Amino acid sequence: MPRLPHSHNALIRRLLPLYISAFLQGFVLWYAIEKLFMVHIGFTASGIGLMAAAFSLATLLLETPSGILADRWSRRGVLMLASLALAVSSLICGLTSSIPVYIIGTAFWGMFFAFYSGTYDAIIYDALLEDTGGSHGYKRYYGYVRMLDGTALVSGALIGAFIGSVFSLRAPFLITVPIAILSIATLAFFHEPKLHRAKEADPILQHVRATFSTVIRHKSSAMGTLVVLVLGATLVDTVMEFNQLWLIAIATPVGLFGIATGIVLAAYGLSGLLANRLQLKKPLYVVMLSTLMTISSLVLILAHIVWLIVPAQAVVVVSLLSLGIEYTHRLHDRLPSHLRAGASSAVSSAGRALFILVSLVFGWITQHYSVFVAGWLIFIPLIVICLFLYRTARRPA
């Protein structure tokens, strides 16, 4: 529905502490040097795959329960728990030289993602409903979260790589701790929407059943929507988790890790800009987008040049994240507020469960063959997504 200019300004003012928090939670200095640090303390490619599986398992176990907790208690409170988990993870990983202890640290990192997942989008959607009476502009306002997150990720990668090269690979981990804690303080100033608490809370088991029933049976969760959201999330996690293995395989200089990782992480910000411009009802547009994603995934199999590999990774990530925003909007349009965060987290959990298997296989293939052979695990599911996009474009719901 149309909004007056002052409605936009008022909504931005209300969401400003949330946007600042999103930036601080994304300003993680150790993402750019994580795999280098892991190799430094003794990880192999298979060990990195095992770490990714452990991280994903922790996320999977907590993702849907944390979404239900956000629906029943406080979404702002759950985001505060996310910041605390990020701080604990950074501290443990930055102080240890032990592989088992590092994996424990990444389990807390998984807790961060579990609490984070499905929370921002649910808050933005409900804030729009409270302030404007409709969801028009969701992709715009949620896109701001993605843009700030992406800006923070890129800045953190560049600064973190510089700090790691000048001081030590541990320093970016330790400096991230106070930054994560600061995001808790900014969240304290956010006025949280209360729509999800307007309905008297059902008994917890009934709430859980309703959450999963909504995801499985609702019209918004048709096969195509679930395929795009679940496979898309799995592929984004795969590229983001293993992107530095391509750099290591072609002996990329350490000084370029920050720039290369920053380019890939910039996809988070770009997806916020591009999501509102997707034209998925036009078959020609879908064919062009699918062709771009397919070529990019083939580059990850065939190319051994850093400035081909890195843009290809970025194209895959930004395309899938943009699609994720569009399909999450479709999901929220038909979800009741008191189930919104939980249902969104449940869909994300399905992708996380699949990623556990993919990460183990990806690490094993990389260890015994190469990361380029493992790239087929990205190419094949991407083709499936493209087929569903084209089918939807020809027969829009």
What is the domain-level CATH number for residue 387? 1.20.1250.20
The pair of three-digit structure tokens given for residue 58, joined into one six-digit string: 């922790």
When pLDDT is cut at 50, 70 and 90, the band that residue 3 belongs to is very low
pLDDT band at residue 216 using 50, 70 and 90 as cut-offs: low
* Neighbouring C-beta atoms of residue 212, cutoff 10 Å: 14
| Gap between the Cα atoms of 310 and 247, Å rounded | 9
23: domain range? Answer: 11-188+203-394
Decide if 198 is inside a domain: no
Average pLDDT of span 270-293:
80
Number of folded domains that form the chain: 1
Answer whether residue 194 is part of any domain: no
Residue 381 has pLDDT above 70, yes or no: yes
Residue 193 included in any domain: no
| C-alpha of 65 from chain center | 18
Q: Does residue 174 fall inside a structural domain?
A: yes
Separation between Cα atoms, residue 349 and residue 64, nearest integer Å = 7
Residue 196 lies in a domain: no
The whole-model pTM stands at 0.70
Cα–Cα distance measured from residue 131 to residue 141, given in angstroms and rounded to the nearest whole number: 13
**Positive/negative CA dihedral, 301, 44, 166, 83:** positive
Residue 232 within a domain: yes
Checking if the pLDDT of 339 tops 70, the result is no
Residue 195 belongs to some domain of the structure: no
Give the model's confidence band at 279: pLDDT under 50 very low, under 70 low, under 90 confident, else very high: confident
Whether the Cβ atoms of residue 323 and residue 390 lie closer than 8 Å to each other: no
In a domain, 197, yes or no: no
